[in-house]
Amino acid sequence: MSTSLEMKNIQKFYGPLHVVKDFDLHVQPGEFLTFLGPSGSGKTTALKMIAGFETPSSGDIYLDRRSIVDLPSYERRIGMVFQNYALFPHMTVGENVAFPLTVRKATQSDILEKVGRALSLVKMDQYVGRYPNQLSGGQQQRIALARAIVFNPSILLMDEPLGALDRNLRDHMKMEIMRIQKELNMTVVFVTHDQDEALTMSDRIAVIDEGRVVQVDDSKSLYRKPTNRFVASFVGESNLIPCRVECVENGRANIIVAGVQSRVAQLSGQASGDAGWLFIRPEHIDICPQGQGSHVHNSLEGVIEKTLFLGEMTRYLVRCGGETITVKQQNRGQAHLPGGTPVTIRWMPQDCTVLN
């Protein structure tokens, strides 16, 4: 049975350093929720407080509405997977996975059954007699996952578990973790600074900046509708261009950006005369040589500063007035535009917004 998690007004101080601030979060039973933020943002400290390795300076933490803040870590029934796996080098795979059951004084028959089931779930049952130094990084990661779930924890915490793997193996393990989580209907809190991991794996993402949760949303909403400049710049690639709101009418606005009037379909509370930042994703901008293409309301003239071929797409850095704007174009037979080409870039009002 999956478990809910709630963190209420959590604060954490290390002396004068305030590392977790006003932390409020509710994780639904069976949900895969990711803490996403840069190094030093407080996400791992928040995870350690859930696990019981750190104590909040104030606030409370609940599992299924029961406060656990005063419970020692070994009584919380929480599984944990670390970035370095933390396997015991002198123990076999079977002994490593059995360890949580051994310290809980499970019977030998129960241990054999549960270890076999956990290893089968991560597709590592044939390695039961090997030692960690005889396994690849990806295999060690699977064993660490098996050990974390073997005692049927109420919730699974994962702290940067894919950080030590190469890209192909990391992509494969993302799918495996998602499969296991769905198969067990397990509540998971996952910590990463990698936006691709967060966007791919999560039901919801909590973006953390300087110890605070600044936005919690599903992947699509977070990517398409960030609530502030930090989220817009940290999640995916974005253009954030200084602008000024000229007038507001029926939720839409005319703005001045790079000296040219443009139209936006969304604001984040600005009024006429306010300064802001035009937010638009590079893939939502079209590019063509000047004098070509149809006219749309939002367009700027510029010159390509740099062209970067990325395989499936090309990234253009375009100088428009005093601003450099990033444009991504899928390579589907379009002509390749070299540096120095005068171009027009265009975008639709519904694909942009103004952020504070």
Dump pLDDT digits (tens) for 100-135.
999 999 999 999 999 999 999 999 999 999 999 999
Residue 310 pLDDT class (50, 70, 90 cuts): confident
Residue 262 pLDDT class (50, 70, 90 cuts): very high
Instruction: Give the per-residue pLDDT at 85.
Output: 76
Instruction: State how beta strands 32-36 and 188-192 pair.
Output: parallel
User: CA-to-CA distance for 214 and 300, rounded, in angstroms?
Assistant: 32
Instruction: Give the per-residue pLDDT at 187.
Output: 96
Instruction: Give the per-residue pLDDT at 167.
Output: 82
Q: What is the DSSP letter of 53?
A: S
Please check the confidence at residue 137 and state whether its pLDDT lies above 90: no
Per-residue pLDDT tens over the stretch 231-247: 999 999 999 999 999 98
Please check the confidence at residue 293 and state whether its pLDDT lies above 70: no
* Spans of all domains in the chain: 5-233, 237-355
Output the six-digit token pair for 75: 């009584």
Please check the confidence at residue 272 and state whether its pLDDT lies above 70: yes
Please check the confidence at residue 28 and state whether its pLDDT lies above 80: yes
User: CA-to-CA distance for 189 and 159, rounded, in angstroms?
Assistant: 9
Please check the confidence at residue 269 and state whether its pLDDT lies above 90: no
Per the CB < 8 A criterion, the answer to whether 215 and 53 are in contact is: no
Residue type, 89: P
Q: What is the DSSP letter of 284?
A: G
Residue 164 pLDDT class (50, 70, 90 cuts): confident
Q: How many CB atoms lie within 10 A of CB 308?
A: 11
Please check the confidence at residue 212 and state whether its pLDDT lies above 90: yes
Instruction: Give the per-residue pLDDT at 165.
Output: 79
Radius of gyration of the chain from its Cα atoms, rounded to whole angstroms: 25
The enclosing H or E element of 34 equals strand 32-36
Instruction: Give the per-residue pLDDT at 344.
Output: 94
Residue type, 235: V
Q: Which residues of 258-288 are buried (b: 16+ CB within 10 A; e: fewer)?
A: beeebbbebbbebeeebebbbbbbbbbbbbb
Q: What is the mean pLDDT of the chain?
A: 92
User: CA-to-CA distance for 230 and 239, rounded, in angstroms?
Assistant: 12
| Continuous H helices in 89-248 | 93-103, 108-121, 137-149, 167-184, 195-201, 219-224, 229-234
Instruction: Give the per-residue pLDDT at 295.
Output: 67
Per DSSP, the residues of 223-254 read HH--SSHHHHHHSS--EEEEEEEEEEETTEEE
Instruction: Give the per-residue pLDDT at 220.
Output: 95
Task: For the chain, give the percent of residues with pLDDT over 70.
Answer: 98
Say which CATH topology domain 237-355 has.
OB fold (Dihydrolipoamide Acetyltransferase, E2P) (2.40.50)
| Continuous H helices in the chain | 43-51, 93-103, 108-121, 137-149, 167-184, 195-201, 219-224, 229-234
User: Is 90 buried (19+), middle (13-18) or exposed (0-12) by CB count in 10 A?
Assistant: exposed
Per-residue pLDDT tens over the stretch 68-101: 999 999 889 999 998 887 899 999 999 999 999 9
Residue 294 pLDDT class (50, 70, 90 cuts): low
Per the CB < 8 A criterion, the answer to whether 161 and 201 are in contact is: no
- Compare 123 and 2 and report the one with higher pLDDT: 123
Instruction: Give the per-residue pLDDT at 226.
Output: 94
User: CA-to-CA distance for 261 and 298, rounded, in angstroms?
Assistant: 8
- Compare 78 and 336 and report the one with higher pLDDT: 78
Instruction: Give the per-residue pLDDT at 169.
Output: 83
Please check the confidence at residue 13 and state whether its pLDDT lies above 80: yes
Count of residues for the chain? 356
Please check the confidence at residue 196 and state whether its pLDDT lies above 70: yes
**Torsion, CA 46, CA 48, CA 31, CA 217, rounded to 10:** 20
Per the CB < 8 A criterion, the answer to whether 1 and 77 are in contact is: no
Q: What is the DSSP letter of 165?
A: S
Q: Strand 66-67's sheet: what is its strand order?
A: 17-27, 5-14, 58-63, 66-67
Please check the confidence at residue 166 and state whether its pLDDT lies above 90: no
- Does the domain formed by 5-233 have CATH 3.40.50.300? yes
Please check the confidence at residue 182 and state whether its pLDDT lies above 90: yes
